[in-house]
A and B are shown apart, each in its own frame.
Chain A
Amino acid sequence: MYQEQDALPKDSADFALSDNINPLKWIANFISKTLVITELEVRKLSHDPTELFTRALQPALWMLVFGEVFTRVRAIPTGNMTYLDFMAPGILAQSVLFVAIFYGISIIWERDLGIVHKFLASPTPRTALVLGKALSAGVRAISQAVIIYLLSLMLSVKLSWAPANLIEILFVVIISAALFSTFSLIIACIVKTRERFMGIGQVLTMPLFFASNAIYPISIMPDWLKAIAHFNPLTYEVDALRTLMISGGNSQYGLPFDFAFLIFSMIILTIIAAIVYPSIAR
């Protein structure tokens, strides 16, 4: 058998983390690798940012057409809010969802090119590979938040500009994008082909969106849909955004509960994703 010093080349021995892992070192390594994966995605985006602008179209249509019309109709009970004020945070949540939910496609694309194989054959922790991608979805989603804020300004939505609120919104947007992109990654690892993913992506996005409080309050839903909406992370994302984004907004579930639900879902999904991710290279 090999002697230890013989088995590792000098370089690897210098850089390798020892077997009896120091938890602090492990965490430092985990965080730095996660950020490398995010850096990779952000660098790609910076070379070709056009997609960020093309993505502005859909929320613009929702707010300008759907929002304006329903504000006039007054068909949806939104309490003391105008319908546009009510829906702006919902449309932000929707944009974040759409950015994130098709992340699975890029995973399948990377698998077909062998990129996934190369990363999985590197000593990077699987959780860091998954979380790094998820955070990059967060970066993309921030651009959506900027667009929605601009649209909201144009349509004179009563925005809150309290700095604390803005920071919390940033957090909600990032964690929600991370959450849904991780969900998408799990689906991609299960279905494995682009064609199947496209089908399932559509089937999942619409129910997630409509079984939430994004464009109408949960109180007007039939009971069975209410039950689903209460397990939908999008509901708590929208609730948090509505509270923080709109001046005078009230939380239905309480911000601490919204945050807890989002963070808890994210942790569960990240663990599942780290387990299933290697299967995509098989």
Chain B
Amino acid sequence: MNKKILEVKNLTKKFGDVTAVNTISFSIDRGEIFGVVGPNGAGKTTTIKILTTLLPPTSGEALIGGYNVVKNATKVRRIIGYVPQMLSADGNLTGYENLLIFAKLYDIPSKERKKRIIDSLHFMGLTDVADKMVKSFSGGMIRRLEIAQAVLHNPKVLILDEPTVGLDPGARDSVWEYVKTLAGKGTTVLMTTHYMEEADAMCSRVAIMNRGNIAALGSPHDLKISIGDDGASLNKVFEYYIGKNLDSGVSEGNFKDVSRTRRTTKRLG
């Protein structure tokens, strides 16, 4: 049996003259939490958009569960769960309704729907606020609701784009805990982040991306050993491979990235 649940082969995406993703290849095994780290503009979100079937690649291919993300897009969509970077739960619906709509879109049979939604709200610690409007939720609660929404149909791969951006440390820790629990139950997780400590705490393997390329790939421990210092922080590793630290990289994000991040933060209030 093939252990690889997700395979990316020579994937390239060009926007005009700009190469956002440059012939990258990697694969993810079942049950892994795989992290893609890098500054804004490194190509993380473009990669995620290709894997979630939102954006066709210029060349190369990506397979999830053996299905091609372009040719078998609908099948891929059935086996992935996706949480976008921005807080995307609908504020004008209740928590329960947000899940109900997705339960229907993913064809969860009507007799199972209610139970699954209630279980899922319970698992994410949102039972008490199920019937409250989402616009009254805190950022961490919205994020947990979105994860609940994305795993309602038991996807094989959960894809999280910057899951903790803009969250306070407490909310961040609880998101980490839920994601780890999901992975423990057998869901493969692919997440992007630009927080190195997040990658270090969560991921079984990490790909460091910079300017559309994968600069290094391995477990956090192996990456540290690769720079000859197994006591180093991942930030050190990042500096070693990218030639600068992550904070200076952030300023390279284009206007769109920055304004999106700000907007997300603002919504979190």
Contact = CB atoms under 8 A, between A and B. Distances in A.
A6 B156 CA distance: 11
B54 A44 contact: no
Contacts of A48: 92
A124 interface: yes
Contacts of B153: 11-12, 15
Contacts of A39: 101, 104
Nearest to B112: A11
A16 B72 CA distance: 13
Majority secondary structure, A binding face: helix
B121 interface: no
Given A44-B90, A117-B54, A33 B156 contact: no
B70 to A, nearest CB: 12
Given A7-B67, A11-B154, A114 B105 contact: no
Counting chain B CB atoms within 10 Å of each CB, the highest count among A1, A7, A281 belongs to A7
Interface in B246-269: 260, 263, 267
Interface string B81-95: 011111110101100
Interface residues of B, number: 45
A1 B78 CA distance: 19
Contact of A43 (B84, B88, B97, B108): B97
B106 A123 contact: yes
Nearest to B75: A16
Interface string A1-19: 1110011110110011000
Given A2-B66, A47-B133, A15 B101 contact: no
B19 interface: no
B88 A282 contact: no
A47 B106 contact: no
Interface string B136-155: 00000000000001100111
Interface residues of A, number: 35
Given A40-B101, A117-B52, A1 B263 contact: no
A15 B79 CA distance: 11
A241 to B, nearest CB: 31
A99 interface: no
B49 A282 contact: yes
Contacts of A11: 108, 153-154
Contacts of A168: none
B102 interface: yes
Nearest to B51: A121
Contacts of B154: 9, 11-12
A9 B66 CA distance: 13
B21 to A, nearest CB: 13
Given A12-B153, A36-B101, A121-B77, A281 B106 contact: no
Interface of B: 1-2, 49, 52-55, 65-67, 74-75, 77-80, 82-88, 90, 92-93, 97, 101-102, 104-109, 133, 149-150, 153-156, 260, 263, 267
10 contacts: A15-B106, A39-B104, A43-B93, A43-B97, A47-B133, A114-B86, A115-B88, A122-B77, A124-B105, A281-B49
Given A11-B153, A12-B153, A48-B92, 10 more contacts: A7-B79, A15-B78, A15-B109, A44-B92, A112-B263, A114-B88, A121-B52, A121-B82, A123-B106, A123-B107
Closest 7 pairs (CB-CB, A-B): A2-B66, A114-B84, A114-B88, A114-B86, A15-B107, A123-B77, A121-B82
